[in-house]
Each structure stands twice: as C-alpha cells, then as structure tokens.
Amino acid sequence: MNHIKACCASIARTGFGILQISEAMLEDYKKIVDGYSTISPATKASFSFANDTDGFFPFGAEYSSLEDQPDLCERFCYWPAHSSKRKAFEFTRSEFFAAVEAFEQRVSALAQELMDGVCAEFGATSLTALRAASYLQLCVYGASSGPGERQFAQDPHEDGHMLSFIKPTRDGLVLVRGSSLEPVRLLENEVAILAGSLLTELSDYAIPAAYHAVLTPRTPMTRSSLIYFVNPDPEQALTGFFRHRPIDLKSAINARHIGFGNQPLQLT
C-alpha cells in the first residue's frame, strides 16, 4: 500500500515515519489502554517475570539514560516467545490479555512488511522471523506533579531495537533534534515508527536512530503508550547494507536490552 511505501522511504531518509493502522488494531489498542486500570495489584504482582522482562513491572523499573532517574511509568510486557510458559495463569484468559495477543499478532505482521520495505529501499536482504525476539510493551504514566520536578517523564534516548511502533493516548512524545523538541502528533488511526540503534548499525549508519523523549505534562494527567519493539532473529546471519561485513546482532540486542535496566534476554 502507498502509505506503507511512503513510511519506509521516510524511515530510510530520516529514521522516523507515521503509519496508518487498521480498525481492528485500533479496537484492540483501546481495549488494552482502557483495560489496564481494571487489573488488580495482586494480579500484577503474580504475573511478573523479571528474568524474561515479561508481565507487569512496577513504577520506575526501567530507565532510559540514568539508572537513578527511572522512567515515570508502570509497564506491562508481552513476548510471544514466552507465551507458552504462561498458559496456567488465569490472567491469560482475560479480555485484556486477549486484546494484547490480537494486537501483537497484527502489529508483528505489519512490522515484517515495513522492515521488508526498508531493506528494499537499500536493495538489502530482508530480515526473517522478526517476531521471535520482538515484544509489546504498555507504559502507563500516572498523574504527576508537573515539570517542576523533572522535564521528562522519559529521558531523551534512542531505542535499542530495529524499529519501535509507538501509539500514545495523548501528546508528550517528542523527537529531540539538537536543542529542539519536536512534538509527535498522530491521528486516531496512526502510529509513530522510530528507527533504533540496531537499524542504524545494520544500515552502516545510513539510517539515523530517532532520538526521542516523553515530556512531563504541565498539569497532572495520566498517559499511556503502547509500543512494539522490533528485533531481528538473533540467530540470523546479517551483514551491513553497504560494507557487507557480518554484524553480531545477538550480542548487540542483549547489550542494548540490559542497558535500559532489564535482565539479559532468555530467548533460547
């Protein structure tokens, strides 16, 4: 479709693009962001798997730049690679979890199509099995006291992935261009696509990683952001787009994952 081709071309040039999502994806998204508030603290505590970076994580469990300045949000992470290990939990039969599974299935197919298009922009070999090491993350920012304490609810950073699909419930996401902060504003059926440092490395630095942040709101308010982090299959042998030198993406993926305060990846 034309909007996908245009998004691929924009990512190839600038590291940033905007993509339309289907009505079905939008409905699943609404169920996820609206349904989070109905989940009990007991369920969150029991469905938390730190070694896998899977399930629920409390406020401040991840950071973007400084370990002592964590992101001001709670998190829920869903890895299809770990889903078979969670079947015994009653929570996996909830409406919230069903919406998460449905959204992830749809966005993973969209991510594969988009990544294929980005590779085609450079005449490069497509990446296989993106879903194997990719995951969905919901960030939930509570009402804060305003920017007097911190300018950013999530400090400026670049994601350590190939691509990030980001759909927030309200404004706050900004692209950091030097000293300039450019607000990312999306229509209801749009999602922001940001290149990460892995894609910069794979493209031999032709594609810039999208440096971004989340502003602390001027007045107290809640905000959620659903993100799909796209990683390549760590077992796929890849070479740079131009130099055609082998890239050890397995080590690169893990190093970037740990760099945000997470445990080492357990995908084998």
Encode pLDDT of 57-87 as tens digits: 998 777 776 777 888 899 999 999 999 999 9
Q: Are strands 54-57 and 152-157 parallel, antiparallel or unpaired?
A: unpaired
Buried b (16+ CB within 10 A) or exposed e, 166-204: bbbbeebbbbbeeeeeeebebeeebbbbbbbbbbbbbbb
Backbone φ and ψ of 76, nearest 5°:
-130, 125
Decide: helix, strand or coil at residue 48: strand
Backbone φ and ψ of 111, nearest 5°:
-65, -40
Backbone φ and ψ of 35, nearest 5°:
-80, -20
Residue 257 has pLDDT above 90, yes or no: no
Within-domain flag for 31: yes
Within-domain flag for 76: yes
Decide: helix, strand or coil at residue 16: strand
The parent domain of residue 97 ranges over 2-258
Within-domain flag for 267: no
Provide the token pair at 88: 């015994």
Within-domain flag for 48: yes
H or E segment at 132? none
Q: Averaged over 143-165, what is the pLDDT? A: 81
Alpha helices in 122-248 (DSSP H): 197-202
pLDDT at position 99, please? 98
CATH number at residue 244: 2.60.120.330
Within-domain flag for 149: yes
What is the percentage of the chain residues whose pLDDT exceeds 90? 69
Within-domain flag for 265: no
165: nearest Cα among 222, 213, 242, 226: 226
Within-domain flag for 18: yes
Decide: helix, strand or coil at residue 110: helix
Residue 221 has pLDDT above 70, yes or no: yes
Residue 148 has pLDDT above 60, yes or no: no
Q: How many domains does the chain have?
A: 1
Residue 268 banded pLDDT, cuts 50, 70, 90: low
Residue 20 banded pLDDT, cuts 50, 70, 90: very high
Decide: helix, strand or coil at residue 268: coil
H or E segment at 74? strand 74-78
Cα–Cα distance, 58 to 70 (Å, whole number): 11
In which residue are the tokens 């989340």 written? Answer: 214
Within-domain flag for 266: no
The pTM of this model reads 0.93
Q: What share of the chain is helix, strand, coil (3-state, %, to 5)?
A: 35, 25, 40
pLDDT at position 52, please? 92
Q: Which of 73-87, 227-241, 248-262 has the lowest mean pLDDT?
A: 248-262
Encode pLDDT of 169-206 as tens digits: 999 999 999 889 999 999 999 999 999 999 999 999 99
